[in-house]
Structure 1
Amino acid sequence: MPDFEALIRHQQLKQPTTNQRLKVVNKPDFEEEKNEEPTIKQSGLLVNFFGGFIGSVIGTLTILFLYVNEYLPIDLLKLK
């Protein structure tokens, strides 16, 4: 079985040089990206915030409802 370090050394020597591996690309045109409108507007952020808040309130109320009606037994004293 060949030596692990010898295999690594062989792979490193066999690699192409950085000039052969890396490719130089032209500078992208940023003017085209500036013309695009942002996907999330200020009103969208507010809708996401209040939607998440209302969802967490509904989830909490659902868990409390299930706990009060004894469909979901939560024994906090047993967790100690």
Structure 2
Amino acid sequence: MPDFEALIRHQQLKQPTTNQRLKVVDSPNFEKGEKEEKEKNEETIIKQSGLLINFFGGFIGSVIGTLTILFLYINEYLPLDLLKLK
């Protein structure tokens, strides 16, 4: 069985240095990036408000469904024999 600690140590020593792995690149479209960032923030707000609408839509739908089942049960259109399930 190989010595895993030695293997990990060997891999860490074999890694390239930070200067070899990372490069700093100047962006020619730096001002464009700020505009795109504002647009992304607006899209995020729109998506979050959509999630809120979906939440309340689902909640209202569940309330309507529950009331419909109760209405049908009370008017005996939907017989639920819960006592017979035992």
Please list the CA deviations of residues 30-72 of structure 1 after superposition, one character each: whole Å capped at 9, or x if unmatched: 3224278544788xx4xx4556534421222113322x13688
- What residue ranges of structure 1 are gaps of 5+ in the alignment? 73-80
Task: State the shift of 1:15 in Å.
Answer: 0.6
Q: 1:23 — aligned with what?
A: 23
TM-score (norm 2): 0.52
Change (3 A) 1:40 1:4: closer
Task: State the shift of 1:7 in Å.
Answer: 0.6
- What residue ranges of structure 2 are gaps of 5+ in the alignment? 81-86
Q: Which amino acid in 1 is paired with 2:18?
A: T
CA distance in 2, matches of 1:71, 1:5: 68
Task: State the shift of 1:26 in Å.
Answer: 1.0
Counterpart mapping for 1:22-61 below 5 A: 22-27=22-27, 29-33=29-33, 34=35, 38-39=42-43, 45=49, 48=50, 49=52, 52-61=55-64
Q: What is the identity percentage for the equivalent residue pairs of Structure 1 and Structure 2?
A: 51
Change (3 A) 1:62 1:17: same
Change (3 A) 1:54 1:9: closer
TM-score (norm 1): 0.55
CA distance in 2, matches of 1:29, 1:53: 41
Q: Higher helix share goes to which structure?
A: 2
> How many aligned residue pairs are there?
70
Q: 1:76 — aligned with what?
A: none
Q: 1:78 — aligned with what?
A: none
